[in-house]
Every structure is written in C-alpha cells, then in structure tokens.
Structure 1
Amino acid sequence: MDTERSDDDSELPSGKPQRVDRGQQTGDLSIETNITRWSEVPLFFDFDDLLPEIGEFGLYQKILFVLMIPFCFIASFVYLSQIFMTLPPENYYCFVHELTLIESEEERKMLSIPKEADGSYSHCRMYDLNYSAVYLAKNRSEYINDSLAQLPCRQGYVYDDPFNFRTASMEFNWVCDKDAYSTYAQMIFFFGSVVGCLGYGHLADRVGRVSALVSSCGLALFGSIFSSVCDNFAGFVITRFVVGASFDTCFTMIYILVLEYVGPRYRTFVANMSLAMFYSPFTVLMPWLAFYSGDWRKFSGLYGLAVGFGLIGFCVLPESARWLVSVGKIDNAIEILQRVARRNRRQVSRLKWQTFRESCEQFYREEIEGRHFTIASIFKRSRLARYMVLMIIIWMTISLVYDGHVRAASVLDRENIFAVFSIACATEIPGDLIVTITLDRFGRRWCACISTALSGGFSLLAANIDNPIWVLAAALAGRFFANISYNIGLQWAAEVLPTVVRAQGVSFIHTLGFVAMLLSPPIIYMSHLSIALMLNTLGVLGILGGLLALFLPETLHQDLPQTLSDGNQFGKDQRIWHFPCCGAGSRPSHLNKHDWHQGSSLRTLSKDEYRSRKLHRVAVVKTRRRTTPIVLPSMVSDDSTIMEKLQKSYRFLPPYAK
C-alpha cells in the first residue's frame, strides 16, 4: 500500500542531466538525470499502471463483481427464454369439437385420426366425416375405417404435454404446415441481435457504457412485457426482435466494465469465474423456471424481476474511466479512480495522479489521431487481411457450433427435455474453469484448435451411433468442448488485431458471429428430418473451425501489435506447429515485471483502448530511476550532442519533468 508523501513530493522536478563518471566503461558514456523525487514515477502512467496503486482486486472491485449477478441472470434469460417460449410440441393431433364429450381419448383418436405407416396417429390429418353424426351414432365403431378420405386439421390441435408447460408454439398452433414459424421467430431474434450490436456500439461511444447498459436492459424489459401480451405471429416476432437487439449489450457492457477496473493479473480469473459462478448457474436454473411457471407468458414476465434487481446496480455502477478519457472527460475519470482508491483504502501520491493526468491527455490525443483508421485499413495489409478473414470464419464457425449445441439440447431427448437442458448447461461450469487454468499456460491457438475439433469429433460420433444414451453422452461432450472454444474465440481475436483497429475489428467480428447464429435454428430444424443430419452438420463445422485455428498466430508471451505495421508482421516467424510451452517463444523473454501487461491479457477486451507505438516506447523506459544511468552509444562524442539526444528521448515527458 502506498503512503502519502510529504508536501515536497508535489514540487515540480527540475534540473538538467549531468555527466556522471561511471569508472572504466569502454566506448560508452553514462548520463544520469537530476530529477528529484521522481524515482518511482514512470514516464507514461496508464490505467494498468495505476490499478496496482489503487487496488487491483480490492473491496470496490469485489462489489462490482457481485453486481454482475443480476446482469448474468438477464443475459441468460434473454438468450435461453426464446428457446423455451417457442419449444415445439412433441405429441399432438387434430382437435374435433363434436367429439369432445367422448371421455375416452383413444376412442376419439380412432374415430377421427388416421394412422401413419409406423402405426402412430397422424399429427396433422383427420378423417373427412360428419362428426355430429358420428357422435350421435349408436354404434360408432362402424365409422372406423382406414380408407376414409383425409384432410388437414380444421379446428386446431390437442397437445399432449407431460410437462404442462404451454409454449407459444402450442398457443398459436405453429405445427404441421406452420412448424417452421418457431424457427423463423428465433432467426428474427438473432437478426435483432445483429442490429442491436451495431446500434448500441455507436450509442455506447456517444453517451457512455452505463447509459448503453441501462437502455439495453430497459429495451429487453419492454420487449419481454409486450411479448407476453401479443396474440399473433407478427406481434410476437416484432417483440422478439426488440429483445434480441438488447441481447449482446445487456451483458457485454457490464462484463467489460468490471474487467476494466480489475488489475491485469486478475482479469482472466474474473472474466471466466464470473461466467462459471453467475452466468452458468443461471443457465442451469432457466429450464426449471420455465417448467414451474407453466406458461410462456408468465415465464416472459419473469424478466421484470431481474431488471428490478439490476436497478440496484445501475445506481452504483461507475462509468467507464477509459471511455471518459477517450472523450476528453479526464477530470471525471480521475474522480472515479480516486473513489476506487478510497474504497480500497489505498493512498496514491499527488505526483502520480498528476503524471496519470498528463498521460491521459497524451492518451486522448493519440485516440483522436487513431480515429482515421477503419475496418478497411485492415484489408490493405496482406498478412493482416488474411488474419482478419480467418478470424471471421473461425468465430462464425465457433458461434454457430456453440449456439447449435445449446439448442440441440431441446431435441436430443424430448421426454426429459428440462433435465437434459440443465445437464447440458452445467457443462459450461467446468469449461469456464478449464479455460481459466489452461489459457495462459498452453496458449490460445492450440486450446482453440483442440477444443473446437473435439467438439466436432464428438458431434460426428453422436451422429453415427445407435444407442440413445451414448448419442446423448457424445452430444453433451461436444457441447462441453464448444463452451471452451467459445470462451477462447473472441479474446483471441482481440489480441491478434493491432490496437488502432482493435475496437472496430472485434465489434465487426462479434457482429458477424450473430449473423452466423442466424443459421443455427435452421440447423436444429433439420432434426425433424434426422437428428444425425443435424449432428453431422455441427461436427463438420467444428472440425473445420479447429483446423483453421492453426493458421492464426499464437499471442501468449507475445507483444501485442500496436500499429497496422505491427499487425502485418505479427506471427511472421511462427511455424504452424509453434507451441508456447516449449521451444522458441515459450517464455515472455523481453517483458519486464512492469510491462508484463503489454502482452496478451484480457485488457484487450476493452472496446475503447488505443495506444500507438511511440507511447509504447515511452512506457518501456518508465522504470528508470533517478540513480539509474542512461547509456548512450559510443558515437556520441560531446556533451552538447548528449544533451540533444537525451532531450529527444524525453520529448514525451510531462512538461514539468523536462
């Protein structure tokens, strides 16, 4: 913990660099600066440098971590509620009003419903009879005849639901010739996600992260409430489009906001444990909330409860300090960070706050300079363009495989759908833990390759075995590895892209992931034809994504690219079999203890972080102390040249330090 310095520490350091005799040093000269009380202060002091001073994971960050709970519920509800609300019925047949007074269901079916080739009663057809006459007949068995004319159901359907959960598909009769309506509704939900991802990205850049978070949760509440009162397909899909538009933002904003205030060494832990402790348990619970609500309208109304709890968080959530700096509100950012320090009972010297302010001003100028870069800039460099195309394909594949496995749980075992769905969701918890343990040890590339390929392999295995128990077990194993690959995918993309286009690039890739998810409901609809066809499709996609992952560079123990030129050279010397645990590049050879966070970490998930190469160069020398000499090349022959070189080296110092 830092202690407050005396009043002298606020004095502006001054003085000229002086020639120092360092004894017998062949061919080199040494220079030492006469900067007083500045030995502990770096030349560039960014957010990740300040976090250890104000507390990397203190009381304030732990409160923010706990405040993620209602938003994890909101995210899991918005994502999974769509599946249960539109769940198609398994057993149903034509409703015949004239026969409702016949007590025996079997007799009603024999009189009105023809049988299929396998001996089961038809779901969608009925006999063309005068059922009033059938009901009044003394010997109704005379009307039982398989050769009678048939026609589609005219009066609705009778649903045999053992779980007593009435879905929108049942209420609106989305079966038989309308059985694709539930698939359309889910596709429109993801189309809303694409629009919302783009729209809220611009909104968050203009009005702030917390405002975007509040408005997205409010939009989801509005859509959920109106979903529960709509009475036709058009109204339902419009409200689900609205809910889909909020899907990504209602969790991503709080996720990034909390990671931003957590120290670099805790971010991998917080990023994955928040999913394992909060999000995943809610996904396990979600099927049973649907089950005990008994009706899709009541289930949709439960969303208001989660938003009510979320309102508590809205009152105490801080605005993104990085966003405040990016729009020039540096005083507001420092005020929030000082509040964090007070809550964590940490003291930071005035000189460090002043240095941080100067660095923020430089940061803001760099952010302004970087705004002329666009997504098109990535495709002007051949290697970087290749990386971008690969990342798009890989992320779209991973997103499609993951969402496909989530939805596949609803068709693998219809007799035990709620239990199977909970078990499938429970596989996310160990998946999150494994990512936490392995990602920073074995690297992104091989973890993504192996997990995605194994997901595809188990899906192919499930598609080609006959035992229903083993089919279910193999499909759940595929879901487990899909969870792992999904957690790795987007972080990896953020680390490969250079800083100047990272925010735009990650957002673009993320949006295309939702575009890929549009295809997930049609893939699940294939289960009407064959479950094996559905699983084979997911399997082929998984193996394809896993193999493509080998063609992206590894980011573990690597300096992340800052400029477009860096990005175009990144990974150039890596072989396809490069493995970070052994061989060349297995250790972070040139990142000192102060600069380790310049390498790969979850800090790259921040959507508003920009830093150019020249600021990185300043940060590299930030640990030099007053008593540490600066060695200049032997070609420097006189004191005036030494002073000139030194001044150029220090041109980015705060004004009072020059």
Structure 2
Amino acid sequence: MTDYEAATAFLGEWGRFQQQVFFLLCLSIIPNGFTGLSIVFLADTPHHRCLIPAYANLTAAWKNSSIPLEEESHGGALVPSKCTRYKTEDILSFSERGLLPGVDVNLSNVATEGCLDGWEYDQSVYISTITSEWDLVCDDSWKNPLTSSLFFCGVLTGSFISGQLSDRYGRRIVLFVTMAVQTVFTLIQVFSPSWPVFCAVFFVVGMGQISNYVAAFVLGTEILGQRVRTIFSTAGVSLFFGGGYMLLPLLAFFIRDWRMLLLGLTLPGFLYVPLWWYIPESPRWLLSQGRVEEAEAIVRDAAKRNNVEAPQTIFTQAELKELQSESRKPHNICDLLRSRNIRWISVTLWLVWNTVTIAYFALSLNTANLHGNAYFNCFLSAVVEMPAYTLSWVMFRWFSRRLSLFATLFMGGLFLLFIQLIPSNQISLAITLEMMGKFAVTTAFAILYAYTAELYPTVLRNTAVGTCSMASRIGSIIAPYFIYLRNYSISLPYILMGTLTALTGLLSLLLPESYGMPLPDTITHMQHFPGCCQKTPYTLTHTEDGDNTAERKSRVAL
C-alpha cells in the first residue's frame, strides 16, 4: 500500500493549507496554558490569623498580643499563629482590669483556643481567593490541595473518554465540543456559591481542558507532513501553551479578585467559535474509517489552497485495502494491552508519563510558595518553558527520541536532588536550580507528547495519547500533595521528585526508537519493544526517481 505521506507529497510541506492548520491549532491551545494552572492564584493562601471579634473591645496592646507566637515549620523564626488565639474571655478580662501583656500577665500561662470567629486575611496581595472566601485553612487546609486534585481527576476522566470518542467520531468534532465544555463550565465556575460546587464544576473543566488539547495535538500530527509535524508537536503547541501560561500571572497581577480573574480567563474562549470553519478533519482518520471521498475532498481543497494540481486519483481502493481491512476492526483501549509488543510499550509509557506529570505540575504549583513575589515567580516559571520547548524541537528534529527523553529526565532529576544541598540562606541559588529542573522536565514533557504520537498507529493514536495522558493523571492528582509535604520538610518534595525523575529517565531507554521512521497507520506497522519480539521494522525506501516510499515489510505476528 502506498504511504499516506507519499500519496499526499504533491501538497508540499509548508503551503497555505499547512500554515493555516498549524497556527489555528496552536492558537486553540492558548487557553489550556492558563486554565490548568490558574489554581495557583485562585486558591493561594494569603497570610491570615484568627479574627478577634468586635464585641471584645480590646485595648490596642491586648489586641496586638491576642495571637500567640509559634515557630515556623522551617527556619525556626517566631511568627503569629495562623490557627489559634488566646482565649477571648481571659484576654478581655485582663484588658478590662488594665493589666498589660508581658508585664502584668505571663502570656505563656494563658489558655489558647481555635479561631472560633473565623479568620482575617491579609489583602495586600489578593483581594480574595477561594481559600479566603471559604476559609480553606487550618483544620480545612486539606481542601486546598484537594481542589487541584479534583481538577486533575477531571483531566483523568477526560483523557479516558475523549481519546476513544475522537478515534470513533473524529478529531475535529471532539476538539470543538470539548473547547465549548471548557469555556462554558469555567464561566459557570465564576458563580460558584460554595467550595463543593466550585470543585464539581472544576472537575468538568478538567475534562474539557485535556480533551481539546489532545484532540488538537493529534489532529495536527496527522494532517501535517513529517518535518512540520516535528515542529508542531514539540515547539508549536508547547510554545502557545507556554504563551497562555505567561498570560496567567500578568492578568492575575491586575485582577486580584478570584471571580473576576476567572471571568477574564473565560472570555477568550468564545473567540474560537469561527475556527470551526477553518480547521478540517484529519484525512488520515477519514481514511481509517473508509471515508475515502471525504478525505480526498479535504486533500483537493488543500491542493487548491497551496496552488498545486492534485492527481486525478489520490487514494485508490487497491492502495487503501490494507488500511481499511485493519481500521474496520473495532479498536478500543483494550488494544493497547492486547499483544505483547504494544503492551510493553504502553506500560512503559504510562510509567514515564506519570513521573513527568508529577514533576511538571508539582514544580508549577509550587511557584506561590517560593521566596519573593508570587506573580514574578509564576511568570519566571512560564518564561523558563519557552526555551525548553524550543530545545525540545531541536532535539526532536535532529537527535534520537529515546536518548533525548532520557537526557532531559535524568538531568531534571539531578537538578531537583541538588536543591537539598543548597544552604538555607542561598535562596536565589535554590530557585535557580528549581527553574533548571523545571526547564529539563518541561523539555521532556514536550518530547514525550510527540514521541508517543509517533509510536502508535493512526487507528489507535488518539486513544493511545489520551490513555497515556489518563495514566499520567495519577501523578497530577497527587502532585499537589507533594507540595503539601513542605509542611513537614522543605527538602522532602525535591528528594522524591528528583529520585523518581532520574529513575524514570533510565526506564525510558527501554522504549523503541522512532527517529526517521514514517508514522504508522496500523498496529502491525508499530516499532518493536527492544527484547520483546523481533520483526522487520517499518522503514522508508528510496525509489529510482528519488521519491520516498513507505515499505511495509513482512514481520512476525505480534
């Protein structure tokens, strides 16, 4: 059978059609950059202390002394308690008798109580967050990381559902439906009356967020040619995602109320409605479904846009026989485990995705805890991603996929492990190492997305990428709790993340190489897992006239 890329080679690599698909799909990625990480500002915890009720009518001296001092969890400095106060009745009694704190009364002998009247929050950084509005502090502080985890539970669910829907009903329809879900439910979230409602809606937003990202990613991967596909799947979508991430702290800096910030992040989603008429369905997917006429119509329209003449017959029935016989078989998530070869590839990728996601989201969500301005730290974390995505394209274009993934993961793990060796007074050096770790992990993440799409065939590609993303959400669900470990030891999150990331880099060396190989269309065209089974690889051969033709050589059954 003639390879799809060979059959459509007359279109060229970078005509008007490819440019339109490239930039519009990248443009659709921007909202994903700020939706998933907006929780950094929406749920940040301002400085707070117990509220002293107005009826107490304390003197200034007693009001300032009504909060006990306690040691910080790190550093040992004495700071006002966030969750306790001296008993109001005792303090009021001392104040009415004219006694002075620390002079007439030894405060260490005064009983304490919880924040029975609520908390007062510092508004120098935020006017309000969901933490300050619903008091997600002290005994309820566990709700804060749970908010992020529930979002990622939605991402997990979306990854599971959308991949199979996309492989069954098409990439384009799933892309736009899930973009609508993300935008509409984020708007509903603005009016959340309580924390449980906020989390329930946030779960649905997570479903839409990952679904439209994966659908756009796979759609571009299948439409674009090999060289442009490499740029799109690494630097392209990633740079636009990073652009959205960079907009987040800029917008949050000017909008300090969480509801208004969420509204500002929602409105751009409505601007994407016209893209429906400019982004086509994947011809590869249409061919895999036997819809040859629709696929040819899209390719002929692409030729018209590129000012080239299409051949009279682009896809003949004889050429499509192999693909259609394979694609007409129903495929689902079980096919990722059905044969020995694809099972080992899938399990290994799931483990790698899991660790990369833990490191990426834990480091991204940790920016609010770093020393200095939260907005600047978040912006710095976003800026670091831009050269990382550029590097991912360079490595993906000219170097081994497997070695590139190993190098970035292993180095990222080492940077995170080195943080614990930095003295506590060298804050700038520690932040630099953390950003270097974020740089390496981000590069690995971009490479991993494109690498995964190359390993799996067209008939399973969206399901496979979606399932890898789904498996990785175990990592993203627990990532907020890696940051929560800072309450016990600042070094502990970095030790765990660094060790996992470095070990996963070694694990990635087991994956097959896809550099220089054509995109597989069926399961039998997949590369083999090293040591799992032997087969003749799916390679490109050169004909006498110099054209590249994909050759499916005979291979043993998987």
TM-score (norm 2): 0.87
Please list, as runs of the form range in 1=range in 2, the aligned pairs for 1:257-272 lying within 5 A after superposition.
257-272=219-234
Query: Any idea what SS the aligned residue of 1:518 has?
Result: helix
Residue 93 of structure 1, aligned match among 36, 49, 54: 49
What letter is aligned with 1:287? P
Matches within 5 A, 1:24-43: none
Match of 2:308?
A: 346
Secondary structure, counterpart of 1:130 in structure 2: helix
Number of the residue aligned with 2:482:
523
| Equivalence for 1:21 | none
Contact 1:70-1:309 within 8 A present in 2 as well: no
Residues 95-114 of structure 1 mapped to structure 2, 5 A cutoff:
95-98=51-54, 108-110=63-65, 112-114=66-68
Shift of 1:241: 0.6
CA distance in 2, matches of 1:494, 1:212: 18
Q: Which amino acid aligns with 2:16?
A: L
Letter in 2 for 1:318: P
Deviation, 1:570, is 4.9
Find the partner of 2:380 among 418, 423, 429: 423
**CA displacement at 1:246 relative to structure 2:** 0.8
Distance 2:122 2:12 in 1: 58
Task: Note closer, same or farther for the CA distance 1:46–1:345 as it changes in structure 2 (3 Å cut).
Answer: same
Q: Where do residues 232-243 of structure 1 align in structure 2 (5 Å cutoff)?
A: 232-243=194-205
- The answer to whether structure 1 residue 210 and structure 2 residue 172 are counterparts is yes
1:227 maps onto 2:186 in alignment: no
Offset from partner CA, 1:380-437 (integer Å, 9 cap, x none): 42x6544433222122112222222222222222x31111111111111111111211
Distance 1:158 1:569, change over 3 A: closer
Q: How far apart are residue 58 of structure 1 and its match?
A: 1.1
Residue 124 of structure 1 pairs with residue 78 of structure 2: no
> How far does residue 543 in structure 1 lie from its aligned partner after superposition?
0.9
AA partner of residue 366 (structure 1): E
Counterpart of 1:397 (choices 355, 360, 364) is 355
Counterpart code for 2:319: S
Distance in 1 (alpha carbons) for counterparts of 2:369 and 2:175: 33
Q: Judging changes above 3 Å, is the alpha-carbon distance between structure 1 residues 308 and 445 closer, same or farther for their aligned structure 2 residues? A: same
Counterpart contact for 2:179–2:269, Cα < 8 Å: yes
2:328 match: 368
The CA deviation at 1:186 is: 0.9
Could you tell me how far 1:150 is from its partner in structure 2? 0.7
Question: Contact between 1:458 and 1:477, CA under 8 Å: does it hold in 2?
Answer: yes
Deviation of 1:442 after TM superposition, in Å, equals 2.4
How many angstroms apart in 2 are the aligned matches of 1:458 and 1:260?
Answer: 35
CA contact (8 A) 1:401 1:538 kept: yes
| 1:116-163 Cα shifts (integer Å, max 9, x gaps) | 144311100011123895698383636863321111001111112432
Q: Which runs of 5+ in 2 are unaligned?
A: 72-76
Q: AA paired with 2:34?
A: F
Q: Does residue 47 of structure 1 match 2:4? A: yes
Q: Distance in 1 between matches of 2:11 and 2:456?
A: 29
Partner of 1:174: 136
The 1:333–1:377 alpha-carbon spacing in structure 2 relative to 1, beyond 3 Å, is: closer
Deviation at 1:512? 0.2
Please say which of residues 589-598 and 155-164 is displaced more in the overlay.
589-598
Root-mean-square deviation over aligned CA pairs: 3.1
Q: Which residue of 1 aligns with 2:273?
A: 311
Tell me if structure 2 keeps the 8 A contact 1:397–1:516: yes
**Equivalent position of 1:432 in the other structure:** 389
SS of the counterpart of 2:100? helix
User: Is 1:98–1:131's contact at 8 Å kept on the other side of the alignment?
Assistant: no
Residues 308 and 564 of structure 1: CA distance in aligned 2, closer, same or farther (over 3 Å): closer
Q: Residues of 2 paired with 1:450 and 1:243: CA distance?
A: 34
- Paired amino acid for 1:227: Q
Among residues 259, 269, 283, which one is paired with 1:297 in the alignment? Answer: 259
SS in 2 for 1:93: strand
1:337–1:75 distance in 2 versus 1, CA, 3 Å: same
Match of 1:485 among 427, 440, 444: 444
Pairwise CA distance, 1:569: 4.8
Question: Which position in structure 2 is the counterpart of 1:39?
Answer: none
CA distance in 1, matches of 2:322, 2:214: 28
1:260 CA drift (Å): 2.7
Is 2:427 the partner of 1:468? yes
Q: Name the SS of the counterpart of 2:69 in structure 1.
A: coil
Say if 1:494 and 1:502, in contact at 8 Å, map to a contact too. Answer: yes
Which is further off, 468-477 or 264-273? 264-273
Matched pairs, number: 539
Deviation at 1:473, TM superposition (A): 0.6
Greater CA drift, 514-523 or 490-499:
490-499
Matches within 5 A, 1:626-637: none
| Aligned residue identity for 2:210 | D
Inter-partner Cα distance in structure 2 for 1:68 and 1:567? 26
- Native 8 Å contact 1:379 1:385 kept in 2: yes
**Deviation of the 1:81 alpha carbon:** 1.3
Residues 1:251 and 1:497: Cα distance change in structure 2 (over 3 Å): closer
**Letter aligned with residue 61 of structure 1:** Q
Task: Determine the C-alpha separation between the residues in 2 that align with 1:100 and 1:218.
Answer: 51
Q: 1:563 to 1:54 in 2, by over 3 A?
A: closer
Deviation, structure 1 residue 499:
6.7
- Paired residue for 1:543, among 502, 505, 528? 502
The one-letter amino acid paired with 1:92 is: H
Q: 2: distance between equivalents of 1:203 and 1:100?
A: 61
1:388: which partner in 2?
346
Contact preservation (8 Å) 1:272, 1:435: yes
Cα distance in 1 between the residues matched to 2:223 and 2:335: 31
SS in 2 for 1:151: strand
Q: 1:255 corresponds to which letter in structure 2?
A: F
Question: Could you tell me whether the CA contact under 8 Å between 2:11 and 2:306 is conserved in 1?
Answer: yes
Could you tell me whether the CA contact under 8 Å between 1:94 and 1:157 is conserved in 2?
yes
- Cα shift readout 1:318-374 (whole Å, capped 9, x = no counterpart): 122223233333222222221111111111131x33x456534653333114x3686
* Alpha-carbon distance change, 176 to 275 in structure 1, aligned in 2, over 3 angstroms: same
What SS does the corresponding residue of 1:328 show, helix, strand or coil?
A: coil
Matched position secondary structure for 1:158: strand
Residue identity (%)? 23
Q: Is the 8 A contact 2:453 2:461 kept in 1?
A: yes
Quote how far apart the aligned CAs of 1:497 are.
4.8
Q: Which amino acid aligns with 1:267?
A: R
Deviation at 1:527, TM superposition (A): 1.4
Q: Secondary structure at the match of 1:146?
A: helix
Please say if residues 362 and 480 of structure 2, whose CA atoms lie closer than 8 Å, have aligned partners that are also in contact.
Answer: yes
Find the counterpart in structure 2 of residue 251 from structure 1: 213
Q: 1:595 to 1:76 in 2, by over 3 A?
A: same
Amino acid at match of 1:530: S
1:186 is matched with 148
Alignment correspondent of 1:287: 249
- Bigger-Rg structure (1/2): 1
Matched, 1:595 2:548: yes
